């Protein structure tokens, strides 16, 4: 029976999340003289930015233009983009999954242009049989649609699939899609409490897919 491993992208393969937090923290301090608590920023990790902008408006007491904030944030992010790299152990996990005969997919709440740009930059494109992004669904994570779409295209049953995530929103999406979920938090998600049904590791070096696929709790 075919098995699949479906990776999240932002924060999981490349830790863009920590860089975005640094960008928005500095931007809000400079523009509005407000602090950005990590717990508030984390609410939007793996999903839309709606809760994040609501926090800003509630804190400053007035409406904002999200597109203006985004423009400034994107400019700051581009300045830091060269510092980004693949998270340690990700390439090894992709190789392990392939050697075990697993189909490999990607499911991200980000745009296709964003995801594909990084995959090509870091020469990861060839690893993925299926890539699903925000353009492929009406609702992104924590809605399970992205994972369901990826599973359908891979032709793999949910109970034979494993999601690799870094965020609570992503983990909820995977579980609600009927999958098993491995969580490897990054710097800005390590403090979060994940659903009990997830299997958490602090780094990619702490596990290998060979053991996980044979472990009875994962079968």
Q: What average pLDDT does the segment 64-79 reach?
A: 92
| Active-site residue flag, 49 | no
Hunting for tokens 């049904």 — which residue is that? 197
Output the DSSP codes for 78-123: HHHGGG--BPTTHHHHHHHHHHTT-EEEEE-SS-HHHHHHHHHHTT
Of the residues 10, 15, 49, 166, only one is catalytic, namely: 10
Active-site annotation holds for 8? yes
Topology of domain 4-14+86-218, per CATH? Rossmann fold (3.40.50)
**Which is nearest to 1 in space by CA: 105, 157, 151, 129?**
157
The pLDDT tens digits for 122-156 are 999 999 999 999 999 999 999 999 999 999 999 99
The model's pTM is 0.92
The active-site residue out of 8, 49, 143, 166 is: 8
């Amino acid at each position: 029976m075919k098995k699949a491993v479906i990776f999240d992208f932002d924060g999981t393969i490349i830790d863009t999340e920590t860089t975005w937090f640094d960008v928005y923290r500095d931007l809000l301090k400079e523009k509005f003289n407000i602090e950005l608590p990590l717990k508030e920023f984390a609410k939007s990790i793996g999903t839309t930015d709606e809760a994040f902008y609501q926090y800003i408006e509630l804190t400053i007491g007035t409406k904002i233009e999200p597109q203006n904030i985004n423009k400034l944030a994107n400019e700051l992010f581009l300045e830091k983009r060269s510092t980004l790299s693949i998270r340690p152990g990700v390439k090894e996990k992709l190789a392990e999954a392939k050697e075990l005969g697993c189909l490999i997919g990607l499911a991200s709440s980000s745009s296709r242009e964003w995801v594909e740009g990084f995959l090509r930059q870091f020469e990861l494109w060839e690893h993925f049989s299926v890539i699903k992004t925000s353009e492929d669904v009406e609702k992104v994570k924590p809605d399970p649609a992205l994972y369901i779409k990826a599973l359908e295209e891979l032709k793999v049953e949910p109970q034979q699939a494993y999601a690799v995530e870094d965020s609570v929103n992503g983990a909820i999406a995977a579980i609600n899609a009927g999958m098993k979920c491995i969580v490897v938090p990054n710097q800005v998600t390590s403090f979060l409490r994940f659903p009990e049904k997830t299997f958490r590791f602090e780094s990619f070096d702490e596990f290998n897919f060979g053991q996980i696929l044979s472990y009875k709790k994962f079968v």
